[in-house]
Amino acid sequence: MDEKIWNLSGKVAIITGGARGLGYDMACALASAGCNLILTSRFKNSLEEPVQHLKTKYKVEVMGLELDHRHFNQVSEMAEKSLAFMGRIDILINNAGGGSGTGESDFFLRSPEEMAEMVSNNLLGAMYCCREIGKIMSKQNSGKIINIASIAGMVGRDRSMYRKNKKTEQTIDYAAAKAGIIGMTRDLAAYLAPYDICVNSISPGGFYSKNLPDGFVADYNKATALGRMGEYGRDIKGIILFLSSPASDYITGQNLVVDGGFTIWK
């Protein structure tokens, strides 16, 4: 096999929300292929440990940047600093976001402010990053943008699984925002294709965390073809390496589903 298709040495990637969770797993996957990294987080002090660990373990350059991607001026500043880091940006992973949010999860009780906040955090922030980093990549005539969506943007959710297990429901605004990510990805891929920039999204299914009620995990496992929830440290790494590397150079505008088969049956 031509191993160069997986090699990322000398490349530079930005991972928003890369200090923990799936974003940190992505950082480890890219660093293990030799990629230099820029990790962003809203909280500067949460960057110190992961940045140091990645540098020491993988011997790559890593920079941490404070960013709340809901604010366009902060995104522009992040883009400038990222370009100054090593003089180029090869990969952007729009990972920051999340469905837990604040307030009521029931649609009829949820406030307009909570809805707007969710859309801003899960769609607009990523759109701003695509604009500012896409512009830099267009001047390079190369790049890969990977937007983290969710199966919430693809299928409706059986609320009984949540209510029975007294688990906060996934909100409709989260589904709307993630569906927006999938739509944005497709059209942005068309817009950026003339610059040889590939744009794809990943839709993960639910990942296991200790905070989930046992009954909910059991029901979720049963509803998943492979019989289990996603595992941190394991299930997101392969796909992110694939979409970041030359191995995927002829793939653009696609939404790749990483859900153990949750969406293949009812």
The single residue among 60, 63, 148, 175 that binds ligand NAD, judged by CB under 6 A, is 148
Question: Angle at Cα 27 formed by Cα 22 and Cα 29, nearest 5°?
Answer: 95
Q: Which residue's CB is nearer to ligand NAD, number 10 or number 227?
A: 227
Query: How many angstroms from the chain centroid is the CA of residue 116?
Result: 20
**For residue 145, what is the enclosing H or E element?**
strand 143-148
Instruction: Give catalytic status of residue 195 as yes or no.
Output: no
The single residue among 23, 101, 134, 260 that binds ligand NAD, judged by CB under 6 A, is 23
140 vs 160: CA distance, rounded Å: 49
Residues 157 and 106 sit within 8 Å (Cβ to Cβ): no
Phi, psi of 67 (to 5 degrees): -155, 130
Number of shown-chain residues binding ligand NAD (CB under 6 A) = 25
Q: Which stretch binds ligand NAD (CB under 6 A): 13-21, 85-93, 214-222, 241-249?
A: 13-21
Strand partners, 36: 12
The single residue among 36, 82, 105, 121 that binds ligand NAD, judged by CB under 6 A, is 121
For residue 265, the minimal CB distance to ligand NAD (Å) is: 19
167 touches ligand NAD by CB under 6 A: no
41 touches ligand NAD by CB under 6 A: yes
17 touches ligand NAD by CB under 6 A: yes
Cβ neighbors of 240 (< 8 A, separation 6 or more) are 25, 26, 29, 30, 93, 146, 202
159 C-beta neighbours (distance < 10 Å), count: 13
70 touches ligand NAD by CB under 6 A: yes
Phi, psi of 11 (to 5 degrees): -80, 165
Residues 114 and 103 sit within 8 Å (Cβ to Cβ): yes
22 touches ligand NAD by CB under 6 A: yes
Write the interaction track for ligand NAD spanning residues 177-216; mark x where CB under 6 A is met and - where it is not.
---------------------------x-xx---------
For residue 69, the minimal CB distance to ligand NAD (Å) is: 4
67 touches ligand NAD by CB under 6 A: yes
4 vs 7: CA distance, rounded Å: 5
Q: Which stretch binds ligand NAD (CB under 6 A): 1-9, 65-73, 186-194, 213-221?
A: 65-73
| Amino acid identity at 76 | S
Which of these is catalytic: 174, 195, 208, 250? Answer: 174
98 touches ligand NAD by CB under 6 A: yes
Q: Which stretch binds ligand NAD (CB under 6 A): 50-58, 63-71, 79-87, 184-192?
A: 63-71
| Amino acid identity at 262 | F
- Which 8-state DSSP code applies to residue 230? B
Question: Quick one: angle between helices 125-140 and 172-192, nearest 10?
Answer: 10
- Residues classed as catalytic: 174
Q: Under the rule (CB under 6 A), what is the footprint of ligand NAD?
A: 16-17, 19-23, 41-42, 67-70, 95-99, 121, 125, 148, 150, 204, 206-207
